[in-house]
């Protein structure tokens, strides 16, 4: 089975923190089990308790949490390498994991020390995040009363918390702007509206809606929602001040897209695996009916699959690592890591997504009609890929226009 060219971390091991490569290998080792559970996980709408415990014991959920509060504080690229490997086993499970564990990045960047201490106090912090505003929050006492329903809260099945954005008003009804709120699992209900045949793909992503009824959120578990265009200045974010790590400078445009695109890099590798397996076990679909592994046509298709997938992962990780370098540049020189640079790197990883999607399309189109039968591995991967294409973050022409407008001095719209 072909493995990624990226087999080693670029980050040295520090102290007693588990080596990132060891964590990536643990995710890789789960691949056969995840594949056997495809049907079960799609029916569940998420992943089983057994897999959840494996993730927990491996430390995957603590990957982006700050060391100060018991996390591993891995580099972003290493976190996403773990996500790619999980997604190679099951893209839906990868989506659920990444969108649940990844929001430690936002808490570590923007929430107060008291808020972080409380949220990271448990062994794992798993929180779906929904930034499309919904519901309403009313200022009250030392916090807010929050009610509403938020859809597509990916990662909800094993969530310990939720992060949601809502418009906020004072007691008189005067608008106070948007805020993000962090709530413990006891303060929200997960609706039974995901999994099974409800969607074409990503059925195991636990992208359920959640509902909140008049929950009190103390002030230290709420922050102004102005993540996208905040200025770093000379001090950076509260997260950088607390942890001294430029990862917590909190530029969010690349990060949000990289979360989703990691699943597509994993999907592309999954179709490479399946295509290779079919080459070894099936004859060519047209005369002469020689084994596919001896067929020049299948050699050509496999070679292109490898080129597309290697290129997608290489470009993707290069974009993530350049993002990290821009944060370090701010530390070293004081030169601003600008929202435009963040937006342009978002476009870089979106190019990687397009290469990954091309790989999935090529494998599905050339593997033979049996690949389209319900229950085949390629059919599942194709459906998961199709579901990603419907996401607003995959509408690249919109982000291209937004970058161009911002580049020429107009407001950043998306």
Residue 12 lies in a domain: no
Domain with residue 391: its CATH number is: 1.20.140.10
Specify burial of residue 287 (Cβ count, 10 A radius: 0-12, 13-18, 19+). Answer: exposed
Residue 240 lies in a domain: no
Q: Are 301 and 196 in a shared domain?
A: no
Domain boundary (197, 232, 267) is at 232
The DSSP bridge partners found for residue 137 are: 146, 168
Q: Are 316 and 374 in a shared domain?
A: yes
Domain boundary (58, 90, 119) is at 119
Residue 74 lies in a domain: yes
Cβ 221 vs Cβ 183: under 8 Å: yes
Residue 11 lies in a domain: no
Residue 14 lies in a domain: no
Q: Are 358 and 226 in a shared domain?
A: no
Domain with residue 28: its CATH number is: 1.10.540.10
Residues of the chain with confidence (pLDDT) below 50:
none
pLDDT at 3: 83
Q: Are 212 and 305 in a shared domain?
A: no
Q: What is the largest CA-CA distance in the chain?
A: 79
Q: Are 254 and 226 in a shared domain?
A: no
Residue 3 lies in a domain: no
Cβ contacts of 340 within 8 Å, gap of 6 or more? 403, 406, 407, 412
Q: Are 37 and 63 in a shared domain?
A: yes
Q: Are 41 and 142 in a shared domain?
A: no
Cβ 237 vs Cβ 109: under 8 Å: yes
Q: Are 251 and 385 in a shared domain?
A: yes
pLDDT at 88: 98
Q: What is the pLDDT of residues 155-170, one digit of tens each?
A: 999 999 999 999 999 9
Q: Are 298 and 324 in a shared domain?
A: yes
Cα distance between residue 191 and residue 149, in whole Å: 9
pLDDT at 308: 98
Q: Are 252 and 389 in a shared domain?
A: yes
Q: Are 300 and 173 in a shared domain?
A: no
Domain with residue 222: its CATH number is: 2.40.110.10
Q: Are 326 and 393 in a shared domain?
A: yes
Q: How many domains does the chain have?
A: 3
The DSSP bridge partners found for residue 166 are: 179
Query: What is the DSSP secondary structure assignment for residue 157, as one 8-state letter?
Result: T
Q: Domain of 271?
A: 247-407
pTM more than 0.85: yes
Residue 283 lies in a domain: yes
Residue 91 lies in a domain: yes
Domain boundary (97, 119, 141) is at 119
pLDDT at 7: 74
């Amino acid at each position: 089975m072909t493995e990624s060219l990226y087999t080693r971390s670029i980050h040295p091991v520090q102290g007693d923190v588990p080596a990132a490569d060891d964590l990536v290998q643990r995710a890789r080792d789960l691949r056969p089990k995840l594949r056997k559970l495809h049907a079960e996980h799609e029916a569940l709408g998420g992943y089983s308790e057994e897999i959840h415990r494996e993730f927990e014991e491996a430390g995957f959920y603590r990957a982006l949490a700050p060391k100060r509060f018991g996390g591993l504080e891995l580099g972003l690229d290493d976190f996403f390498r773990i996500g790619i490997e999980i997604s190679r086993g099951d893209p839906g499970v990868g989506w659920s994991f990444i969108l649940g564990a990844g929001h430690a990045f936002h808490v570590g960047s923007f929430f107060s020390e008291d808020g972080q201490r409380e949220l990271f106090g448990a062994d794992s912090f798993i929180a779906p995040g929904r930034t499309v505003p919904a519901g309403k929050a009313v200022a009250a006492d030392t916090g807010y009363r929050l009610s509403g329903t938020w859809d597509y809260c990916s990662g909800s099945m094993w969530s310990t918390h939720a992060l949601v954005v809502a418009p906020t008003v004072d007691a008189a009804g005067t608008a106070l702007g948007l805020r993000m709120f962090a709530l413990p699992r006891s303060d929200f209900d997960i609706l039974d509206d995901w999994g099974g045949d409800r969607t074409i793909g990503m059925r195991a992503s636990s992208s359920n809606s959640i509902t909140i009824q008049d929950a009190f959120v103390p002030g230290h578990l709420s922050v102004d929602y102005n993540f996208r265009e905040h200025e770093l200045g000379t001090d950076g974010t509260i997260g950088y001040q607390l942890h001294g790590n430029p990862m917590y400078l909190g530029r969010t445009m690349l990060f949000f897209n990289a979360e989703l695109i990691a699943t597509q890099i994993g999907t592309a590798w999954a179709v490479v695996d399946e295509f290779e397996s079919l080459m070894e076990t099936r004859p060519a679909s047209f005369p002469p009916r020689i084994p596919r592994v001896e067929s020049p046509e299948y050699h050509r298709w496999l070679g292109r699959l490898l080129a597309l997938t290697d290129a997608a992962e290489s470009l993707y990780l290069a974009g993530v690592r350049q993002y990290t370098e821009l944060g370090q540049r701010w530390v070293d020189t004081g030169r601003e890591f600008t929202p435009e640079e963040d937006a342009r790197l978002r476009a870089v990883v979106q190019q990687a997504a397009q290469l990954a999607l091309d790989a999935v399309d090529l494998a599905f189109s050339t593997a033979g009609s049996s690949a389209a039968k319900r229950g085949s591995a390629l059919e599942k991967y194709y459906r998961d890929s199709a579901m990603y294409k419907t996401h607003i973050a995959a509408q690249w022409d919109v982000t291209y226009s937004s970058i161009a407008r911002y580049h020429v001095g107009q407001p950043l719209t998306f």
